[in-house]
Amino acid sequence: MQRLPAFIFTFINSSLLLTTMTTAQAQSQQPGLVYPQTRKTEVTDNYHGTTIADPYRWLEDDNSPETKAWVKEQNAVTQDYLAKIPFRDAIKNRLEVLWNYPKTGAPDHRGNYLYFYKNDGLQNQSVLYRQSTTPGATPEVFIDPNKLSADGTTALGTVQFSKDGKYAAYLIAKAGSDWQQAHIMDVATKTLLPDSLNWLKFSGLSWRGDGFYYSRYDEPTESSKLSKKNEFHKVYYHKVGTSQDKDVLIHADSDHPLRNFQATVTEDERFVLLNASEGTSGNEIWFWDMKNPDQKTFKLLIKGFDHEPNVIDNDGDKLFVITNEGAPNYKVELIDTKNPEGPRTLIIPERKETLMHVGTGGGKLFATYLQDAANRVYQLNYAGHLEREIKLPGIGTAGGFGGKKEDKEFYYTFNSYVTPALVYKYDIASGKSTTYFKPELKFDPSQYETKQVFFNSKDGTRIPMFLSYKKGIKLDGNNPVLLYGYGGFNIPVTPGFSVSNLFFMEQGGIYAQVTLRGGAEYGEEWHKAGMFEKKQNVFDDFIGAAEFLIKEKYTNTSKLAVHGRSNGGLLIGAVMTQRPDLFKVAIPTVGVLDMLRYQHFTIGWAWGVEYGTSDKEDQFKYLIKYSPLHNLKPGTSYPATMVTTGDHDDRVVPAHSFKFAATLQADNAGPNPTLIRIDTQAGHGAGKPTGKLIEESADIWAFIMYNLGMHFKN
């Protein structure tokens, strides 16, 4: 068990939608580039005595014919622009070549089989295979999500097996939406049972006996399912072979509509644990001891919501918990369920490195730390005594450390900026790692290198940054650079391989990934330094990274592109409005761009514990200072910008991107293009098929390279 993580057009006569082009719009056109004209309305809101105009409020209604027509027109302009870039097709072709290599995930031992994901190269979705543990056995397809939809947009999510190995429950999501369906398969025959569960969201699947726990919302209306605020999360228990309307309601909270709940079960099925959260930060834990006949409901284990505890495993009636209570870099404690408020036993003390995750397997604990944003992994016994460090191949990201108590081995993965995922087999008794899978590549990793540099941010804080590029690069100030960051929600951004980024390095570019405050890389204090009224630190760190790259002659302002996704899209929107002179190209992807209204849509309310909301006067005062939508200024020359989003994004609804793009097109007074790319049958990013990933990457790189003055190199 792990710490929980922290988302058809209707056409009408377009002439009815258009108004006269503004002067700012006319001035911002590139030759041959004419933007759709976007109707303005007299909509205003009063925030604690301050009146704020929202002239494009109508774009929040993604179901209206007017919005759908606007989307169609914007996509037509964007695709026409991209089609005229002479090397766009060459980029796509090269990406397909680089992408087309077999990829295999770390196997998971369940019953008499090893289960693993594999993608032959360009399959839209990776296929779940199984292979008998009998020597020489041939792998067979277990679940192929590519057969679930003609266009490859149905993705396979969580797969969980019953303790006896008889059943597998799994989740699927369509068109990138956060909404999921649950299905059950008979493992022996691979027969799909008639059980079908709907309207799951932010749910796990956790088996106990002949059924499992899951989380869902009430059924929404067809028109509101992608935008309506998600409220009243509930936990149910489903018994195999019954219909969903017979499922038992395990937990609901009518007094707290904005709490989310997830039930998990310990490996021995003794404890059912209820994790309650009021947002993306902070939770509390309740437990139900199924071996205690006197306990008839959940009891409080850890009161929330000031810290982030999570149960790892149990040892009899005691629970191992990873927590940052009194330990910003996290520690592990043992809590007696017979006396939850009593003294706790310290198992793994806090270190200067951040403890990111603790897995279990073979009766051991496996602790994964971050040291300057790269992984270090250690094996300990249940008393917390160190047995060994698991040596990794280099600076990178490793995952998969754990299994069942009876396991004698497990498999883990490792990857870096220039190395795709390698799979290793790990012997728990000896600590020996052996290579299990190594991909055959269409490029030579030895031609590339990564180094970590440090610089001081505006307030003097030391900030790390990884730089990856082709060997032999010259520091003459003329290298094209893509600078990427995230900086939020206690999420670490660690070294990882990307075919797309490799392509840019192959073309002579430098990929720079900066470790911003707001993430988890240096513990909770690092996180808090980028939250609430301190969010400006994140933007200052990113701006400082750009200035460092220019000062050290890696690049110059005309060769610098910036990119970020989701909270990183907010980052790009903020820095391009604060320092439009510093960047040549900006790509805000599925970004949170309207900081005054984000809490009114789907799960947006959960981010209030990270950002604050405009509902509170003191928080409104700092949100309005950096909200990207509200800091665009008429008559300003902005970087070449391509906003990207998906029409089924119900995590960060596309209204953020729609309103930002419309305002940017109206306000931009310079020569750079300001476009929006709206992907269809696509959501926030999870489960996006390979074909769409390649198309999106080709369009982004074509836009970046063209506006940086680059040329495609064969």
pLDDT at residue 20, rounded to an integer: 29
Phi, psi torsion values for 314, nearest 5 degrees: -125, 155
CA distances (Å), origin 670, targets 91, 401, 664, 677 = 27, 51, 11, 20
Percent residues over pLDDT 90 in the chain: 88
For 651-676, the pLDDT digits (tens) are: 889 999 999 999 999 999 999 999 99
Question: Does residue 65 contact residue 10 with C-beta atoms inside 8 Å?
Answer: yes
Residue 1 has pLDDT above 60, yes or no: no
Residue 246 has pLDDT above 50, yes or no: yes
Task: Write out the DSSP string of 267-278.
Answer: TTS-EEEEEEES
Residue 205 has pLDDT above 60, yes or no: yes
Rounded Cα distance between 494 and 417, Å, is 9
In the predicted model, what is the mean pLDDT of the chain?
A: 93
Under the banding of pLDDT at 50, 70 and 90, the label for residue 103 is very high
Across residues 108-122, what is the average pLDDT? 95
Convert 283-308 to b/e letters by CB count within 10 Å (16 or more is b). Answer: bbbbbbbbeeeeeeebeebbebeebb
pLDDT at residue 202, rounded to an integer: 93
For 167-204, the pLDDT digits (tens) are: 999 999 998 889 999 999 999 999 999 999 999 999 99
Residue 432 has pLDDT above 90, yes or no: yes
Question: Does residue 197 contact residue 238 with C-beta atoms inside 8 Å?
Answer: yes
Under the banding of pLDDT at 50, 70 and 90, the label for residue 281 is confident
Under the banding of pLDDT at 50, 70 and 90, the label for residue 245 is very high
Across residues 493-519, what is the average pLDDT? 97
**Could you tell me the sign of the dihedral formed by the alpha carbons of 642, 59, 564, 631, in that order?**
positive
Residue 18 has pLDDT above 50, yes or no: no
Element housing 355 (H / E)? strand 354-361
Beta bridge partner(s), residue 596: none
Query: Which residue has better confidence, 530 or 714?
Result: 530
Residue 644 has pLDDT above 60, yes or no: yes
Tokens, residue 21 = 């082009």
Rounded Cα distance between 520 and 308, Å, is 12
Establish how many alpha carbons lie within 13 A of residue 408's alpha carbon, considering only the half-sphere containing its beta carbon: 2
pLDDT at residue 27, rounded to an integer: 34
Task: Write out the DSSP string of 301-346.
Answer: EE--SSS--EEEEEETTEEEEEE-TT-TT-EEEEEETTSTTS--EE
Under the banding of pLDDT at 50, 70 and 90, the label for residue 21 is very low
Element housing 194 (H / E)? strand 191-200
pLDDT at residue 32, rounded to an integer: 59
pLDDT at residue 680, rounded to an integer: 83
Under the banding of pLDDT at 50, 70 and 90, the label for residue 493 is very high
Rounded Cα distance between 287 and 300, Å, is 6
Across residues 452-474, what is the average pLDDT? 97
Rounded Cα distance between 622 and 132, Å, is 58
The neighbour count for residue 573, using CB atoms within 10 Å, is: 31
Residue 11 has pLDDT above 80, yes or no: no
For 544-567, the pLDDT digits (tens) are: 999 999 999 999 999 999 999 999
Across residues 265-272, what is the average pLDDT? 97
Amino acid at 93: N
For 61-85, the pLDDT digits (tens) are: 988 999 999 999 999 999 999 999 9
- DSSP SS3 for 90: helix
pLDDT at residue 464, rounded to an integer: 97
Under the banding of pLDDT at 50, 70 and 90, the label for residue 217 is very high
Under the banding of pLDDT at 50, 70 and 90, the label for residue 206 is very high
Query: Which residue has better confidence, 9 or 413?
Result: 413
For 150, residues 6+ apart whose C-beta sits below 8 A from its C-beta are none
Looking at the annotation, which residues are catalytic?
566, 684
**pTM for this prediction:** 0.92
For 301-320, the pLDDT digits (tens) are: 999 899 999 999 999 999 99
